[in-house]
Amino acid sequence: MEVIDLAWWKLGLAALLVLALAATGHLSRLGITRSLLIAAIRTVIQLALIGLVLEALFASSAFYWIALLATIMLLVAGREVVARQSRRLRGWWAFGIGTGAMFVSSFTVTVLALMVVIGPEPWYAPQYAIPLLGMMLGNTMTGVSLALDRLNESVWRQRAVIENRLMLGQTWQKALEDIRREAMRSGMMPSINAMAAAGIVSLPGMMTGQILAGSPPAVAVKYQILVMLIITAGTGFGALMAVSWGGRRLSDERERLRLDRLTKS
């Protein structure tokens, strides 16, 4: 089946819906108009540019260009993790912990999926590696940012309780146990909800895209199952590392709570 191309003016019709929503939000004084318009403009510009980059990348297929794009994607995702936290660690720690957790989890799981499960030749073939890594980073970014935001905010709100526990001789791991559990739950909830609703409430994006591109539904389903499983695994491990590293940063070697290491965004 031939893929139906979309003219830019037809995309403009879809953009009118966003403009209508922005106008409604402005008239209703909802406070979302500016952020909505900026996000829509960024979406168009960023996706148009990445389309040009991917066309050149697919034509080249050189490993160093793929590695460079993957690094840029990771750094941008790390910046977005910091931007989404209401309270964050001071200095480079907020960026470093989020980026490090995403790097270890997303890159490890993506490379494993490419080399062991999918098996393209070469294993870093851009038409497989870049979309897979993009989905991994996007979902891991959400999980890590939600987990860290819940961790930092809960530590700030429950600081008196935590300090009492520490004075009673508990370790920082024990004193933050409930908070870390809730932070992990927050980070994992989007992935768990997506898996629970897949195929009944929603048809996930990758599966829909493959079907629109003409792939047999059975093949699209297999790829979607793979993607959802590895996304959940990557998000879980990323959130777990971020919460563990973040909790450790909020205490010192003498088992004291270090709220001076938090700052309001």
**pLDDT tens digits for range 116-141:** 999 988 999 998 999 899 989 999 99
More confident residue, 235 or 217: 235
Task: Please state, in angstroms and rounded to a whole number, the distance separating the CA atoms of residues 6 and 44.
Answer: 14
More confident residue, 263 or 265: 263
Residue type at 43 in one-letter notation? T
Average pLDDT, the chain: 88
Beta strands in 12-156 (DSSP E): 87-89
Tokens 């996000």, residue located: 39
Q: Judge whether 87 and 246 are in contact, CB under 8 Å.
A: no
Q: How confident is the model at residue 23 (pLDDT cuts 50, 70, 90)?
A: very high
Evaluate if residue 10 carries a pLDDT over 90: no
Evaluate if residue 233 carries a pLDDT over 90: yes
The enclosing H or E element of 69 equals: helix 63-83
Q: What are the tokens at 104? A: 């270890």
- Calculate what percentage of the chain has a pLDDT beyond 90: 46
Task: Please state, in angstroms and rounded to a whole number, the distance separating the CA atoms of residues 15 and 143.
Answer: 28
Q: How confident is the model at residue 148 (pLDDT cuts 50, 70, 90)?
A: very high
Evaluate if residue 32 carries a pLDDT over 70: yes
More confident residue, 201 or 198: 198
Reduced to 3 states (helix: H, G, I; strand: E, B; else coil), residue 13 is helix
Q: What residues pair up with 7 in beta bridges, in sequence order?
A: none
**N-to-C CA span, the chain:** 50
Evaluate if residue 2 carries a pLDDT over 70: no
Question: Residue 265: what pLDDT?
Answer: 67
Evaluate if residue 90 carries a pLDDT over 90: no
Q: Judge whether 231 and 143 are in contact, CB under 8 Å.
A: no
Query: What are the Cα distances from residue 237, in Å, to 22, 133, 168, 217?
Result: 37, 15, 31, 30
For the chain, the domains span 1-60, 62-264
